[in-house]
Structure 1
């Protein structure tokens, strides 16, 4: 009989103790089947798969279809009555009229439970059988006109009827004895059923037969005939259960535990062969043959065969078996000494690098040097290169170009946010779900032992209580150690010395010093406007056209249009934002093509403004020199160079210094140093010393929400203070960077190329630098410094000589100072 007998039996018997189920008021089955009240002429239909509801029976039903859920919720809010009908085809699709049986049972919803996944479970009790006469409508759910069928049963006082009922109960008891899955309390429930009609429906509902056969029982109107058909099915089930019990008894007496396991293994083996899959022995033999072809060391070969011997001793059904086989498969899949041949055609390599990347002259030269040395000495250990620079300058894509130039496989591992050492070194096999580290995983994916391996965003590795991944990388990125890299999962040494590791970083400050020492730092700075225009023309525009299903014939951007995009809508060192803006222009043209609108296929600078709106950035960022104390400085950030303004203001007070703009400690110290220098040298600068005592000085750096720090703004702050105290104008289109000391020395700073690019973007014409930074400027290409005039200084007076004009600003402050005490 049905496995759901226990639940059905509890709902069928209102007096049963429903454990863990909210008590529901269930009407007597006899009362429900005999009641004609509130039975409508038209019924909403709820089609069910794999379920037939009989009158008087209580069953749980889970509803998943949209229409059915809508019907159930509406019925529950109303009279809770609906027609339960079974499907001829047990499909999940919404049934049609022809897919339904014509006979069903009116159901009364006792309880509705809305599940977390949106489905609904209802507890429904059958009332009367009905017959569908016609389908009235199908939306929003099936509704039918019905005729109700009255249950009939022979007179219960007749001997034949009594014998039939007794036989049904005895047969049910026999089934309960033969089937241990049905609870023993079910016998008591059956004995307590007095109504012959309900007994017939109850046993029919719980009988373990097909839905079509249950439906035939439901469609048998005569109760006596239904009872006889039910008895036939029950007697067949008794026969099946008796045969099953006999077989189990014989098997348990003839086969002991070891024979039973052997028998099951042989059955599994035969089944696997029939299904076309390998048996455990065949699987191990295939692994052994695969291992014999590997070019690995004798130590690894011995370890591999030892693992295979261990697998043979394991039970193939044991959980450890799958883990051991997975480990052996990893060992046999790894490319131990399977290297791809390097291409040493240096002219071809140079051509590939030039095609893929515009500019980056020094970087390309270093890569060609590496290839040249590798060509002369083929056993050279691969160096660890680290491309360092702002986002969007091509660090990661350079790795792909190097792989293409060398003819090697390319793999990339993103290190941003990695905080678990196991992601580098792997987990030990003793843990559930253990796996090798991502280094070994990516080598396995490459299928070659010498890929170009990009470690992306190495400066963004984090650490927590689970270890320090950057320390785990020390072994990976050391050419003297990585020839015997040991992954915790792998348990044997793996040679990484042939791998060309390339790391990328936006900042070197967050990289562990020991790790930084193991890498050769190659700096990638930002691009000039001309370079960005060329990159957009050669790479960005063709890429965006292809991604949007367009060709070069559909859209052309003039040089002026690209320059407008660069200068008016982007302000970055790289070209990532520029690519987004190019993509925006391409999408607007793609929309016009798709909607068959007229459009201009050759865009000029003026067309860009029509498509993208007003420019976001002004080409000329310089704010003029009409006010005293406003000086332009140059700064370095992890995303490239930028300009900043130092603003100074004086107000009557007691000589208080106020600093604002989220300045760091170093920048605050620069401001105090500059003020001290001015106080000690006020006579040479023609500054009345009384101003320092009777006027408050406020220094502010705009964009106050952005934290700022570093010594580079030293001379900029000093110039701003000197201008506000003397009310002299600052030279037009001038920017500066440099650290100062108390004695007036100007010290060199870093990030010169990025700062120069930022100055050019802001249309600055002259730059003041420390004379020791002259060598940094000379190393930069002429295309970066063209149009700029450099003033190299050693002392603060030289800075002020260049920066301060002799004329005073309009509306200069007339300082009101008390007379000296000696007057």
Structure 2
């Protein structure tokens, strides 16, 4: 039956005690307990207590429901005496000593904290016979076994020897044993000590089985680890035997060693790769370090240390390729043709660092890709918009979980050659925060005097970027740091005139949109007047993106 709040008359006076509900503890008579008090209602109760004052300690049923509802509080609890309180930040540590079992009869107050009247509960003593003595002896023996299984000091086992009171024995065992709160509450509510002896014995046997199961699992895990170590040493012995007999298949370590030697690495890099391979050969394959080391060696092998594509020496052909894909942009085209002409005379010339600056839609990114096609090189694009972490450029150190090389090295690996055209798009959109400044990391990448030995944190060996043709794009140079701007050759892309847009629409935009919409020139025609109307009345831009969208809209309708 759940106690109700009692409506008292003004003249009626009853002895009441404050009620302190606790979440995950059950206090037993004769036991001391330190409680963490964080709930505001309970803090108010503690503030009114003096040393030696008595309160009712009782457990709550469902932690999720909290302590505001009396129906969520067990009616059987304990009268306890306050020993002391310690304040720590937002918590109050309350030390109490349990005295006797009680039952809450009625709640008399709810605010600022619970108060209630109680009835002292009387325990039923067991008969003084051999059966009771046997139960007490059995519980003591089980207690000693649990203490030994847990590896606790032997002195703790001797503490049971002096206890003769069966009720006190069950309370001490219940208070110190790791059992569920509900089981402890049942033991607290059990007033028949003989019945309580039976319950505590059952719980102790379950605890011994649980400890044994935990030990079995630990032993199995240990055996599996020992097995892995044993397998590793046996594999090493088997490898040595096969080498002596000159038989057996080449294992993974041998394959990696062969790949390292044929990858065309510089001597310094090859030495570092072989050293890492030596570490790998001593690791068990089941360890996490093995996977990290194996991935690193694979990256070193996959990088194009000595793989280059041959540049197109046909200057006229390159100029024709640029003209076919883009109208206008003569300054950018002229600079690429000049580079090809000088490259034809001096084969070991490094790549220039170009920066295409102009409003959106004027063809900066697309002509950068066309440059790679004209040169006969492979291309890779790196989008820098919104990049804030320096590790995106330089890579993460391999000590971090999930470490990766930087975007520059990833682009080189993707391109598959050491002289690709790398397009660094939206360089003016770089950001910076507590993780570093990516624009500062780009200073080494875009400096021809330094990038012949670019150091990526993940690689930890130098990589030559001097053969790479870097082309960066930006809408504005206002957000580009001066040292970075100084390393690049700026090529301005002004907005197109109306006549240039008209020509671009007829030569490039119309054929492309007709193909995308599955139409032919015979099915639809656009005269100059119609295109001029689209330009003058429907678009307001320096580039031609909006114009292409308007043409697509007309074709769909």
TM-score (norm: length of structure 1): 0.39
CA-CA distance at 1:556 after TM superposition = 2.0
Kept after mapping to 2: 8 A contact 1:280/1:316: no
Q: What is aligned with 2:396?
A: 427
Matched, 1:322 2:291: yes
Matched, 1:294 2:251: no
Q: What do residues 321-353 of structure 1 show as CA deviations (whole Å, max 9, x unaligned)? A: 111101110000000121101011011101011
Matched, 1:476 2:409: no
Are residues 529 and 264 of structure 1, via their aligned partners in 2, closer, same or farther at CA, if it must alter by over 3 Å? Answer: same
Q: What is aligned with 2:373?
A: 404
Q: What is aligned with 2:502?
A: 533
Q: What is aligned with 1:338?
A: 307
1:345-356 paired onto structure 2 within 5 Å: 345-356=314-325
Secondary structure of 1:353's match?
A: helix
* 1:567 pairs with one of 505, 523, 536: 536
Q: What is aligned with 1:415?
A: 384
Q: Partners of 1:501 and 1:257 in 2: how far apart?
A: 50
* 2:405 pairs with one of 418, 421, 436: 436
Moved over 6 A (4+): 18-22, 264-267
Q: Partners of 1:280 and 1:514 in 2: how far apart?
A: 55
CA-CA distance at 1:419 after TM superposition = 0.8
CA RMSD of aligned residues (A): 3.0
Q: Report the more deviating stretch, 467-476 or 535-544.
A: 535-544
Matched, 1:283 2:229: no
Matched, 1:395 2:364: yes
Q: Partners of 1:574 and 1:259 in 2: how far apart?
A: 67
Q: What do residues 68-125 of structure 1 show as CA deviations (whole Å, max 9, x unaligned)? A: xxxxxxxxxxxxxxxxxxxxxxxxxxxxxxxxxxxxxxxxxxxxxxxxxxxxxxxxxx
CA-CA distance at 1:555 after TM superposition = 2.2
Q: Partners of 1:258 and 1:415 in 2: how far apart?
A: 48
Q: What is aligned with 1:487?
A: 456
Q: What is aligned with 1:56?
A: none
1:174-573 paired onto structure 2 within 5 Å: 258=226, 261-263=229-231, 282-573=251-542
Secondary structure of 1:378's match?
A: coil
1:583-602 paired onto structure 2 within 5 Å: 583-588=552-557
1:709-724 paired onto structure 2 within 5 Å: none
Count of residues in correspondence between the two structures: 338
Kept after mapping to 1: 8 A contact 2:228/2:284: no
Greater RCO, CA 8 A, separation 6+: 2
CA-CA distance at 1:554 after TM superposition = 2.7
Are residues 584 and 257 of structure 1, via their aligned partners in 2, closer, same or farther at CA, if it must alter by over 3 Å? Answer: closer
Are residues 257 and 508 of structure 1, via their aligned partners in 2, closer, same or farther at CA, if it must alter by over 3 Å? Answer: closer
Q: Partners of 2:385 and 2:225 in 1: how far apart?
A: 55
Kept after mapping to 1: 8 A contact 2:322/2:370: yes
Secondary structure of 1:556's match?
A: coil
CA-CA distance at 1:381 after TM superposition = 1.3
Are residues 515 and 21 of structure 1, via their aligned partners in 2, closer, same or farther at CA, if it must alter by over 3 Å? Answer: closer
Structure with higher Rg: it is 1
CA-CA distance at 1:281 after TM superposition = 7.7
Q: Partners of 2:284 and 2:526 in 1: how far apart?
A: 69
CA-CA distance at 1:549 after TM superposition = 2.5
Q: What do residues 578-615 of structure 1 show as CA deviations (whole Å, max 9, x unaligned)? A: 11111111222xxxxxxxxxxxxxxxxxxxxxxxxxxx
Q: What is aligned with 2:243?
A: none
1:133-144 paired onto structure 2 within 5 Å: none
Kept after mapping to 2: 8 A contact 1:349/1:405: yes
Q: What do residues 601-656 of structure 1 show as CA deviations (whole Å, max 9, x unaligned)? A: xxxxxxxxxxxxxxxxxxxxxxxxxxxxxxxxxxxxxxxxxxxxxxxxxxxxxxxx
Q: What is aligned with 2:54?
A: none
Q: Report the more deviating stretch, 432-441 or 290-299.
A: 290-299
Q: What is aligned with 2:70?
A: none
TM-score (norm: length of structure 2): 0.57
Kept after mapping to 1: 8 A contact 2:356/2:364: yes
